[in-house]
Amino acid sequence: MRRSPWLLALDIALVVAVVAGITGFARSDKHVTLSVDGQASEVHTFADTVGGLLQEEHLTVSQRDVVSPSPADALVDGATVDVKFARQLSITIDGQPKQIWTTAVTVDQALDQLGVRSQAAVVSASRSDRIPLTGLQLGVQLPDRITVLHDSRRTTVVTAAPTVGSALREAGIRFGTHDHLSVSPQAKLSHDMNVSLVRVAVRMERHPFAVDHRTIRRGTSSMYVGNEKVVKAGHDGRGVAVYRLIKHDGVIVRRVLVKRHLARHPAPRIVVYGTKERPYSPPSGGAGGLNWDALAQCESGGNPSAVNAGGYYGLYQFSLSTWYSVGGSGNPVDAASSEQTYRAQVLYSRSGASPWPVCGSLLFS
């Protein structure tokens, strides 16, 4: 049966429409890679733009988020769409707080974006932790360099310790309660800080000491002038003194007396000396009739205790050697006036008036 021309044309038109529809469907179905915060997946989509794809995947982005290609760009088959959501990071670096938005997925990536690349930095969270979309609070202590002068050497430490004390302990530099630090152990570190540590040692020392005994002199009329006798020898006292020594790096800087204990008290030395005048007879030769008062006034002003800087003593200014030669003992100034006159008369009987070249002539006045 032969079909009419218009039916044939209708069939052709239907075939063309079906083919065109099939071709259009094939062209609108795309195979793309969608990466969200580093997590990639294969997606089939009929969207014509990147923004349409995001809408199909129920992904809402803001101006802080990063989408590549742009949401307005056309979507082609085989494309890769990268979406990075921004997260709010509350970070405190060395005590200085700040808030930033970042598309970093992990703590390590965020620190890298901030320029904190030192592995010695102390971070309050694991570097591999993911930053949630809701944000994260993070503390970072950057490393500092501290130089410590101690024990006759210099130690340089790079550390993120928060205080001077913790930095020293981290470096194995121990310090005691008496040791002196130039900076408080609780002080915060600063870069290129210099700290000196002085070792302070405190110890007790015992030292023996002596106390000199004194001498007591007592006169007695039972002995002649010039004679003396020790009746009690006496002895020094002795004891122990306790001192507190303070050393800085081994050098004594202070010595403090804590106590003294006297184990034996000193005993005085007792000496008796004679006060009894020696008996004497006037020398022969008429010396007793001379004017001895006039000679004494001329030589010493009549002072039996007179002392001349040249080494002459008493009323008649005896030298010690002359005094001894005429039987005197001790010092003329310690002898009575009568004994001094007697010794002068003995000297006159032996040598005349010549021992007194200036005043001797007054003997005959």
3-state DSSP assignment of residue 315:
coil
CA 186 – CA 334 distance, rounded (Å): 76
CATH 2.20.230.10 boundaries in the chain: 203-272
CATH 3.10.20.30 boundaries in the chain: 5-84, 87-141
Tell how far CA 151 is from the center of its chain: 12
Which CATH number is associated with domain 87-141?
A: 3.10.20.30
CA 82 – CA 32 distance, rounded (Å): 11
Please give the pLDDT value at position 103.
Answer: 86
Of the listed ranges 76-90, 112-126, 328-342, the one predicted with least confidence: 112-126
Conformation bin of residue 209: beta by default, left when phi > 0, alpha when psi is -120 to 50: beta
Residue 8 pLDDT > 80: no
Residue 279 pLDDT > 70: no
Task: State which fold the 203-272 domain adopts.
Answer: Resuscitation-promoting factor rpfb fold (2.20.230)
pLDDT tens, position by position, 304-363 = 999 999 999 999 999 999 999 999 999 999 999 999 999 999 999 989 999 999 999 999
- 195 burial class (0-12, 13-18, 19+ CB within 10 angstroms)? buried
DSSP 332: G
Which CATH number is associated with domain 280-364?
A: 1.10.530.10
Biggest CA pair distance of the chain: 210
Beta bridge partners of 254: 246
**Using 50, 70 and 90 to split pLDDT, how confident is the model at 22?**
very low
pLDDT tens, position by position, 217-227 = 998 988 887 78
pLDDT tens, position by position, 26-71 = 447 899 999 998 889 999 999 899 888 888 888 888 888 899 899 8
pLDDT tens, position by position, 152-203 = 889 988 888 888 888 888 888 988 888 889 888 888 887 788 999 999 999 9
Which CATH number is associated with domain 5-84?
A: 3.10.20.30
